[in-house]
A and B are shown apart, each in its own frame.
Chain A
Amino acid sequence: MAKRGVAMRGRTLVGVVLAAFVLVALSIVWRRTIGIGESERLAQLDSRRVDLEGERARLEGEIRDASARQTLGATAERRLGMHIPSDKQVVILPRPTR
């Protein structure tokens, strides 16, 4: 009877150790799976960030080109009939000295 109890304890111990091993292994695999998933998401977000920065630079460039003197000046002359004033038409107001 006593011999049987010892054997049971030994098997239980082995079972517990095995179960613990499986659990630890599972948690490691799960952690790595989560890590890889997160890593992929991070990579996608980083790629998206870079894409958006490129897009921002493109839009800023378009705004710059559209508001450049070459574009606006020509449009102002053609559509609004504006012109470069002569120097006589430019009044420079000196800042009053305080």
Chain B
Amino acid sequence: MKAPTRVAVIHAFFVLFAIALVARAAKVQVVEGKQWVARGKRQHFFASALSAPRGQILDASGNTLVESREMTRVALALPEVRDTAFVIKALRRARLDAAAVHAAIDRRRRWIDLPGLYSASDVASISKLNGVHLTPVLQRVYGNSDGIKRIVGSLDIRGNPLDGLELALDSILRGDSGRVSLARDNNGRALDSPDGWTEQPKTGSTVMLTINNTLQAICERELSIAVDNLKADGGDIVVMNPHTGEILALASNRVGRTTFGNTAVTEPFEPGSTLKPFVAASLLEHKRARPSDIVSTHNGKLELDGRVITDMHKAAQLSLADVIRFSSNVGIVEFGQRLTPRQKYETFRDLGFGMALGVPLPAEATGTLREPKQWSRQTAASILMGYEIAVTPLQLVTAYAAIANGGELLEPHLVKEVRSVNGTVLYRAEPRAVRRVMSGEVARTIQQMLLAVVQEGTATKADLATFEVAGKSGTARRTSQNAGYTAGNYTASFVGLFPGNDPQYVVLVKLDRPKGAHYAGGDIAAPVTQIVLRAALAARDAALDREGLAASEKSVLAESAVGPSGKAASTSAPRLARGVRGDATNPLDRAAYDPSDNMTRREIPEETAPYIVDLPASPRAAAAPRAALTPRPIPDVRRLSVREAVRTLHSAGFRVRVVTSASSATFPAAGTMAAPGSLVQLTRPLE
């Protein structure tokens, strides 16, 4: 055999080498291919979390109350900064906190997180600088209303909910975070890659509240003014639609105390006389009394179970209706003895006292309602006067809503609707009756009693000139720490139904520890209710059904006979007189509301003659002389269309109310002399 030549050996070596290479390549590509592909992907791609924006929170009209927006956090990596002075200058130009940058640079730190979040436009000029690192951050933005903040709550710096609706509805608002696969370039920077994948984040659902932003703003403002003027410790205002259970406004104010929760839901109080209508309802429901039944009220002083019960309005005897009208403690205790302790307890329990109402706000208080077996000797009488029982403002409003809607206790709603990000309705609140707590007839009777309270009882200061207001005032003594009930320490409250004959609102105004000579609910809480109602009437959107209101308006046609000076008012009916009495221009009202007279700055000088503006208003009309205010004939508009007729009457200086009738006419009739500003009723047949 011939010995292999050197060339053959080398060839063989190369062949073997080639075989080894191919074998190795086959192993890498075929046998271990998947592992290497995975390893390569791990090195070149990485997954990054995409945070989901939280859902919006809207008011009942769709106005944004809370939303998420992307802001930028700025950090400086000092070793990467080439020209420190230039960077500081750029930061200053970008309105960033240059002082903090200076301080940090002085300490020679390597990494500085600048405080605060900045908008994209603020940091656009510095985004390219070496050493400046920008991180996008989702920020929750709240409106400027403190009351709204108390309702919706807040998030911590990491975006976790702390309180309010943000906490209660977190699973709805939070959404689902997504992920994205990014490639790394040679410097390790992230790059979008066509080979990557993305799981899009799912934005949280949008929550629409029942809160009416306008009404909320009105309530917050009036509450703040009242608390300031009365030097009260705080207060709450709650407004509810009694037919749906929707909470329209929820305002709270506490002086010198930081509270994050909504105290109208979290802080119970002894309601005092505002509970008396429910005792009356129970008496009527159990047929233990009629509104006209009379009891002895012992001239306003009754000794019972070792204590003396007194009345402000002293009378020898009062009917049940008058007991409510004058808020007689003696009277309600006398009547209340006709109910068993169990009946009293069940009356209040059925109204929802002593249990949570289920609104989606954390820390909702249940209040206190003890069972009869836990009662002391005096509880049976105390509870009739609204003591030894504690309710939240929301519970009290919900109970009054039952009187307003004909006897059904409705579940209160704070969330009107929940919609997914693509607009699908996930939840819509429907009015839900929890139980019937009184018959319709009893509810109507109690409503009449409450009308009398405002017309000629303890809360005349809540009355309006053009609408009936029903309601009940309450003035409850408060306890001090370790001192029991102390003098000069009161909760003044008023719960009103507006309009009184067909309520659209139930309004509760509660003021804690007002200082000064006036502390009764009828003196200080009722006028606040009146101002809230006036402002709501004047507002464009305050959740009022104007058609319904027009039908509920008081008849004030008699006013047409009153001249601008008001001297010809001799024929005014008692109804009109009642309306005028409740007006805040009455000096007594102002004095009662605010002894220091600070409120007058906000009142209207109605003693001056009304100024009538021709429609359409023009600058020339504004300069019209006062001589134009003399009485004038009502024009004949029978042959005109409704629009033209209204315009003609307005141009003549009259207010107009259109009523459907069989014939076409005006009242007072055409040609009658009437003062400008008088209300003219225009009757038109149904077209």
A-side residues, CB < 8 A to B, are 35-36, 39-40, 42-43, 47-48, 50-55, 57-58, 60-61, 64-65, 68-71, 73, 77, 83-98
Q: Is the CB–CB distance between B534 and A85 below 8 Å?
A: yes
Q: Is the CB–CB distance between B191 and A40 below 8 Å?
A: yes
Looking at B192, B465, B657, which has the most chain A CB atoms within 10 Å of its CB? B192
Known: A86-B585, A90-B466, A90-B534. 17 other contacts (CB 8 A): A35-B194, A39-B191, A40-B192, A51-B119, A54-B70, A54-B120, A61-B67, A64-B63, A86-B583, A87-B466, A89-B610, A91-B656, A94-B546, A94-B547, A94-B657, A95-B547, A97-B686
Chain A to chain B: the 5 pairs with minimum beta-carbon distance, closest first: A51-B120, A57-B69, A94-B550, A54-B70, A69-B217
Residues from chain A with a CB closer than 8 A to the CB of B610 are 89
Among the listed B71, B221, B658, which residue makes an inter-chain contact with A54, where contact means beta carbons less than 8 Å apart?
B71
**C-alpha gap A40/B187 in the complex (Å):** 14
Q: Is the CB–CB distance between A93 and B658 below 8 Å?
A: yes
Residues from chain A with a CB closer than 8 A to the CB of B646 are 93
Q: Is the CB–CB distance between B69 and A58 below 8 Å?
A: yes
Residues from chain B with a CB closer than 8 A to the CB of A55 are 119-121
**C-alpha gap A97/B534 in the complex (Å):** 27
**C-alpha gap A47/B123 in the complex (Å):** 13
Closest chain A CB from B164 CB (angstroms): 19
B-side residues, CB < 8 A to A, are 63-64, 67, 69-72, 119-121, 124, 136, 141, 143-145, 183, 185, 191-194, 213-214, 217-218, 220-221, 464-467, 531, 533-535, 537-539, 546-547, 549-551, 553, 556, 583-585, 602-604, 606, 610, 642, 646, 655-660, 679, 684, 686-687
Residues from chain B with a CB closer than 8 A to the CB of A51 are 70, 72, 119-121, 124
Q: Is the CB–CB distance between B602 and A93 below 8 Å?
A: no
Q: Is the CB–CB distance between B553 and A92 below 8 Å?
A: yes
Residues from chain B with a CB closer than 8 A to the CB of A69 are 213-214, 217-218, 221, 539
Q: Which of chain B's residues has its CB closest to A97's CB?
A: B660
Q: Is the CB–CB distance between B656 and A93 below 8 Å?
A: yes
Residues from chain A with a CB closer than 8 A to the CB of B606 are 86, 88
Among the listed A65, A73, A88, A92, which residue makes an inter-chain contact with B221, where contact means beta carbons less than 8 Å apart?
A73
Q: Which of chain A's residues has its CB closest to B682's CB?
A: A96
Q: Is the CB–CB distance between A87 and B191 below 8 Å?
A: no
Closest chain B CB from A76 CB (angstroms): 12
The 18 listed contacts between A and B (C-beta, < 8 Å) are A39-B194, A42-B192, A51-B70, A52-B120, A54-B70, A54-B120, A55-B121, A65-B143, A69-B218, A70-B221, A83-B602, A86-B585, A87-B465, A87-B467, A92-B657, A94-B546, A94-B658, A95-B547
Closest chain B CB from A55 CB (angstroms): 5
Q: Which of chain B's residues has its CB closest to A65's CB?
A: B144
Residues from chain A with a CB closer than 8 A to the CB of B185 are 36
Closest chain A CB from B115 CB (angstroms): 18
Residues from chain A with a CB closer than 8 A to the CB of B220 are 70
**C-alpha gap A42/B247 in the complex (Å):** 47
**C-alpha gap A87/B585 in the complex (Å):** 12
Residues from chain A with a CB closer than 8 A to the CB of B684 are 96
**C-alpha gap A95/B550 in the complex (Å):** 9
**C-alpha gap A50/B583 in the complex (Å):** 54
Residues from chain B with a CB closer than 8 A to the CB of A68 are 143-145, 217
With A68-B143, A73-B221: A90-B538 Cβ-Cβ less than 8 Å: yes
Among the listed B192, B465, B556, B604, which residue makes an inter-chain contact with A83, where contact means beta carbons less than 8 Å apart?
B604
Q: Is the CB–CB distance between A91 and B660 below 8 Å?
A: no
**C-alpha gap A13/B659 in the complex (Å):** 102
Q: Is the CB–CB distance between B141 and A90 below 8 Å?
A: no
Residues from chain A with a CB closer than 8 A to the CB of B657 are 91-94
Q: Which of chain A's residues has its CB closest to B679's CB?
A: A91
**C-alpha gap A43/B221 in the complex (Å):** 47
Closest chain B CB from A62 CB (angstroms): 10
**C-alpha gap A18/B120 in the complex (Å):** 51
Q: Which of chain A's residues has its CB closest to B216's CB?
A: A69
Residues from chain A with a CB closer than 8 A to the CB of B539 are 69
Residues from chain B with a CB closer than 8 A to the CB of A84 are 531, 534-535, 538, 602, 604
Residues from chain A with a CB closer than 8 A to the CB of B585 are 86
Residues from chain A with a CB closer than 8 A to the CB of B538 are 84-85, 89-90
Q: Which of chain A's residues has its CB closest to B190's CB?
A: A43
Q: Is the CB–CB distance between B535 and A92 below 8 Å?
A: no
Residues from chain B with a CB closer than 8 A to the CB of A54 are 69-71, 119-120
Residues from chain A with a CB closer than 8 A to the CB of B194 are 35, 39
**C-alpha gap A86/B679 in the complex (Å):** 15
**C-alpha gap A77/B533 in the complex (Å):** 18
**C-alpha gap A93/B684 in the complex (Å):** 13
Residues from chain A with a CB closer than 8 A to the CB of B534 are 84-87, 90
Residues from chain B with a CB closer than 8 A to the CB of A85 are 534, 538, 604
Residues from chain B with a CB closer than 8 A to the CB of A77 are 602
Closest chain A CB from B123 CB (angstroms): 9
Residues from chain A with a CB closer than 8 A to the CB of B603 are 83
Q: Is the CB–CB distance between A92 and B546 below 8 Å?
A: yes
**C-alpha gap A29/B441 in the complex (Å):** 87
With A70-B217, A87-B533, A96-B658: A50-B143 Cβ-Cβ less than 8 Å: no
With A43-B191, A93-B550: A50-B136 Cβ-Cβ less than 8 Å: yes
Closest chain B CB from A50 CB (angstroms): 5
Residues from chain B with a CB closer than 8 A to the CB of A88 are 465-466, 556, 583, 606
**C-alpha gap A70/B537 in the complex (Å):** 17
Residues from chain A with a CB closer than 8 A to the CB of B656 are 91, 93
Residues from chain B with a CB closer than 8 A to the CB of A35 are 194
**C-alpha gap A35/B194 in the complex (Å):** 8
Residues from chain B with a CB closer than 8 A to the CB of A97 are 660, 686-687
With A64-B143, A70-B221: A43-B70 Cβ-Cβ less than 8 Å: no
**C-alpha gap A36/B186 in the complex (Å):** 12
**C-alpha gap A39/B550 in the complex (Å):** 63
Residues from chain A with a CB closer than 8 A to the CB of B69 are 53-54, 57-58, 61
Residues from chain A with a CB closer than 8 A to the CB of B660 are 96-97
Among the listed B121, B136, B584, B687, which residue makes an inter-chain contact with A98, where contact means beta carbons less than 8 Å apart?
B687
**C-alpha gap A85/B606 in the complex (Å):** 10
Q: Which of chain A's residues has its CB closest to B192's CB?
A: A39
**C-alpha gap A97/B686 in the complex (Å):** 6
Q: Which of chain A's residues has its CB closest to B540's CB?
A: A69
Closest chain A CB from B156 CB (angstroms): 20
